[in-house]
Structure 1
Amino acid sequence: MAAAAEVSILPDSVLMQVLALLPPWDRLRAAGVCRRWRRLALDRTVWRHVDLSQRRLSSGALWHLLRRHLQPGLRSLRARGSLLSGSRQRLLSPALLAALRKRCPQLHCLGLAETDLRRVPYESIPASLTVLELRHCELPSAWFRHTASTPGALQHLLVHHVPAFSDQHLLAVCSQHRLKTLSLRGTYRLTEPGLQRVAPFLQELQHLELQGCGAGDATMGSVGRHMKQLRVLEIGACPVSNMGLGALKTLQHLETLCLDLSEKLSAGAVIVLCQALPQLRDLRLVGGCLETEVMDQIRVGLSHCSFSHSPQHPA
Structure 2
Amino acid sequence: MPNNSMPLQDIPCLSLQGPMLSLPKRIKRKSRDWLSEGLDTECNAPTELIQQWSPCHQHQQLLSKDKENEGKFILARRSRRRKQSKLGISWNHLPDELLLAIFFYLPLQDLLRISVVSKRWHRLVFDECLWHSVDLEGLTHMGPALQQVLKTGVRRLRCPRAFVEELHFTVPVPLQIVQLDLSSSIIPTSALECIICHCRQLEYLSLESQQISDKIINSLAMNTNLLQLNLSGCSRFSAPALADMLKSCSSIEQLNISWCGFNNDHVKSVVYNLSSRVTHLNLSGYRENLTLNDLKVLVDRCPQIQTLDLSDSTLLMADSFHVFKHLKCLLHLSLSRCYNIHLAALSNLGKMVPTLCLLDVFGLIQDNHLPSLKKEMPHISINSRPFSSVARPTPTSWFIGSPSGRIMWSRMCRLRFTL
So what's the TM-score if we normalise by structure 1?
Answer: 0.70
The offset of 1:265, in angstroms, is 1.7
Match of 1:53 in 2: 137
What SS does the corresponding residue of 2:207 show, helix, strand or coil?
strand
- The one-letter amino acid paired with 2:319 is M
The one of 208, 223, 226 equivalent to 1:135 is 208
1:111-150 alignment, distance < 5 Å: 111-112=181-182, 113-118=185-190, 120=193, 124-145=197-218
CA RMSD of aligned residues (A): 3.8
Q: Aligned equivalents of 2:322 and 2:276: distance in 1?
A: 19
Match of 1:251 in 2: 327
Instruction: Give yes or no for the alignment of 1:277 onto 2:353.
Output: yes
The offset of 1:230, in angstroms, is 0.5
The one of 219, 242, 261 equivalent to 1:170 is 242
Instruction: Give yes or no for the alignment of 1:156 onto 2:228.
Output: yes
Match of 1:204 in 2: 277
1:180-195 alignment, distance < 5 Å: 180-188=253-261, 190-195=262-267
Name the % identity: 17
Pair 212,29 (structure 1): closer, same or farther in 2 beyond 3 Å = same
Preserved contact between residue 245 and residue 273 of structure 1 (Cα < 8 Å): yes
1:227-271 Cα deviation digits (max 9, x unpaired): 211111112222233233442221110111122134312233333
The offset of 1:130, in angstroms, is 0.9
1:221-260 alignment, distance < 5 Å: 221-239=296-314, 240-260=316-336
1:53-72 alignment, distance < 5 Å: 53-67=137-151, 70=152, 72=153
What SS does the corresponding residue of 2:229 show, helix, strand or coil?
strand
The offset of 1:282, in angstroms, is 1.7
- The one-letter amino acid paired with 1:154 is L
Q: Aligned equivalents of 1:197 and 1:181: distance in 2?
A: 16
Q: Aligned equivalents of 2:360 and 2:190: distance in 1?
A: 37
The offset of 1:209, in angstroms, is 0.5
Pair 264,203 (structure 1): closer, same or farther in 2 beyond 3 Å = same
Q: Aligned equivalents of 2:220 and 2:327: distance in 1?
A: 33
**Count of matched residue positions in the alignment of Structure 1 and Structure 2:** 271
The offset of 1:44, in angstroms, is 7.6
Preserved contact between residue 82 and residue 91 of structure 1 (Cα < 8 Å): no
The offset of 1:274, in angstroms, is 3.2
Match of 1:78 in 2: 159
Match of 2:393 in 1: none
The offset of 1:207, in angstroms, is 0.6
Instruction: Give yes or no for the alignment of 1:108 onto 2:192.
Output: no
Q: Aligned equivalents of 1:312 and 1:151: distance in 2?
A: 28
Match of 2:42 in 1: none
Q: Choose 1 or 2 for highest CA Rg.
A: 2
Pair 144,304 (structure 1): closer, same or farther in 2 beyond 3 Å = same
Q: Whose strand proportion is higher, 1 or 2?
A: 1
Preserved contact between residue 336 and residue 361 of structure 2 (Cα < 8 Å): yes
Preserved contact between residue 58 and residue 90 of structure 1 (Cα < 8 Å): no
Match of 2:80 in 1: none
Q: Aligned equivalents of 1:79 and 1:296: distance in 2?
A: 38
Match of 1:300 in 2: 375
Preserved contact between residue 118 and residue 139 of structure 1 (Cα < 8 Å): no
1:132-169 Cα deviation digits (max 9, x unpaired): 21123222234423698x97111211112222133223
What SS does the corresponding residue of 1:145 show, helix, strand or coil?
helix
Pair 204,312 (structure 1): closer, same or farther in 2 beyond 3 Å = closer
So what's the TM-score if we normalise by structure 2?
Answer: 0.54
Q: Aligned equivalents of 1:199 and 1:56: distance in 2?
A: 38
Pair 114,211 (structure 1): closer, same or farther in 2 beyond 3 Å = farther
What SS does the corresponding residue of 2:360 show, helix, strand or coil?
strand
What SS does the corresponding residue of 2:189 show, helix, strand or coil?
coil
Pair 127,259 (structure 1): closer, same or farther in 2 beyond 3 Å = same
Mark the runs of 5 or more structure 2 residues left unpaired by the alignment.
1-103, 115-124, 389-395, 398-419
1:200-247 Cα deviation digits (max 9, x unpaired): 433111110123233333332222222211111112222233233442
Structure scoring higher RCO (CA < 8 A, sep ≥ 6) equals 2
Q: Aligned equivalents of 1:60 and 1:100: distance in 2?
A: 19
Preserved contact between residue 116 and residue 139 of structure 1 (Cα < 8 Å): no
1:164-205 Cα deviation digits (max 9, x unpaired): 1332232122111122111023211x2234323432433111
